[in-house]
Amino acid sequence: MGTVSQFHESLRSPAHRIESEEEAISTARDLAAAFRHQASERDINRILPFAELDALSVSGLTAITVPPDYEGLDVSNALLAEIVAIIAEGDASIGEALESHFSALETLRTQAAEDLKVSLFARVLLGDRFAGAAFTDGTELTAEGPGYRLIGRTRQVPGILFADWIAAAATAPPSRPVTLYLARGEEGVQVVDDWDGFGQRTNGSATAIVGTLHVNADAIAPAPSSGHSTGISLGLLLKAGVSLGIARAAWSDLMTAIGDRSTSVLPQIGERAIRIEATAAALERAGRKLDIAQVNPVEAAMADAHFSCSAAAILAGETALDTANALFELAGETSASIGLNLDRHWRNTRIHALSLPRDRLVHTAGEYRSKPGSA
């Protein structure tokens, strides 16, 4: 820990172009099945899944939200959440890296200038990956020629170790919120592998440190002005997708662990099965509302999507934790073996939940639903 991670110079093959939503979900299922085989070993030994992330890029799956105007497929949000859930069921850390990637692309779509979108979406189609981040207080961003001089560090966030580009929030003088698009391998950008969480151990969390770097004005976009932006809502929806994936993985291991004893705990099994199904339905509903907000980004539609995505994220987190707990409650001593590493589902759930501002979301939901006409 605490070492400066070198930029991952992979020799990726040209990325495949996925042509349909059916192909996208089929590809996700095939990749998730492959990822599942060594997910536990990667967790135990903290083996970072660079090869697995490269496989995602080469498959074309990391480009499925590129808009049609930039030669992309632009899958529906409900399907995107399901795809992230499928990948997270195979390996929750890889799912979380995708969560960061797709959220950053939505901010790019909604906020960046046309030239920047043309340039970066072209990179996404080639297989480049993104990670969202935010610079900490004390970061210096000062005017310098046609752009800014940057000195600072980001907060520790998932996916940076696997990213080709970092989309980092900062404040330009005098007090203008912006997003900086930084090439991960650019001289002056270092990524410190400083993650030591007990869960989501291979999610690529790290801190980016910038000594001194000139950032051109054309690599900067205004930050979203609304707290209900589609980028924020998509992040919540995909966070729900990761939690749903963890719940499904825990459920699968639960059914294996109890084996022939399943008939003695049918009510408890049925309750968990219903919760997982209800959570999947909540994600689908939130995805449809987010589709509407993206097509018609008026404040009312964006607030409605934010409410539903918040609900999905909270429900999915609770479902994941309940299902992970059920492993120990219903499987008993069978689940306690260190070699099985079944506790990773609980650990992943707890760590993943830390980045969900639950209290704030509940407060915002209360404000929204208490307004006349919001039901």
pLDDT tens digits, 292-347 = 999 999 999 999 999 999 999 999 999 999 999 999 888 877 777 787 899 999 99
Structural tokens at position 186: 């650019």
Q: Is the pLDDT of residue 132 over 80?
A: yes
Question: Going by C-beta distance under 8 Å and a sequence separation of 6 or more, which residues neighbour residue 266?
Answer: none
Structural tokens at position 367: 């404000």
Mean pLDDT score, 237-248: 98
Question: Could you tell me the pTM of the whole model?
Answer: 0.94
Mean pLDDT score, 240-247: 98
Strands (E), 184-219: 189-193, 207-216
* Alpha-carbon dihedral angle through residues 70, 74, 77, 83, given to the nearest 10 degrees: -120
Question: Going by C-beta distance under 8 Å and a sequence separation of 6 or more, which residues neighbour residue 45?
Answer: none
In angstroms, rounded to a whole number, what is the distance separating the alpha carbons of residues 84 and 92?
9
Q: Is the pLDDT of residue 3 over 50?
A: no
| pLDDT tier at 11, thresholds 50, 70, 90 | low
Structural tokens at position 225: 């002005």
Q: Are 99 and 235 contacting, i.e. CB atoms less than 8 angstroms apart?
A: yes
Number of C-beta neighbours around residue 67 at 10 A: 14
Query: Which residue in 33, 105, 103, 96 sits closest to 243, CA to CA?
Result: 96
In tens, the pLDDT along 196-216 reads: 999 999 999 999 999 999 999
Q: So what's the pLDDT on residue 2? A: 37
Q: Which amino acid is at 314?
A: I
Query: Which residue in 5, 198, 241 sits closest to 101, CA to CA?
Result: 241
Q: Is the pLDDT of residue 126 over 50?
A: yes
Residue 222, classified by CB atoms within 10 Å of its CB into exposed (0-12), middle (13-18) or buried (19+), is middle
Q: So what's the pLDDT on residue 23? A: 98
In angstroms, rounded to a whole number, what is the distance separating the alpha carbons of residues 345 and 349?
6
Q: So what's the pLDDT on residue 374? A: 65
Question: Going by C-beta distance under 8 Å and a sequence separation of 6 or more, which residues neighbour residue 258?
Answer: 265, 269, 330, 331, 334
Mean pLDDT score, 255-264: 82
Q: So what's the pLDDT on residue 336? A: 73
Q: Is the pLDDT of residue 361 over 90?
A: yes
- Sheet-wide strand order for 165-172: 130-134, 165-172, 176-183, 220-222
| pLDDT tier at 4, thresholds 50, 70, 90 | very low
Q: Is the pLDDT of residue 168 over 70?
A: yes
Q: Is the pLDDT of residue 7 over 70?
A: no
pLDDT above 70 covers a percentage of the chain that reads 96
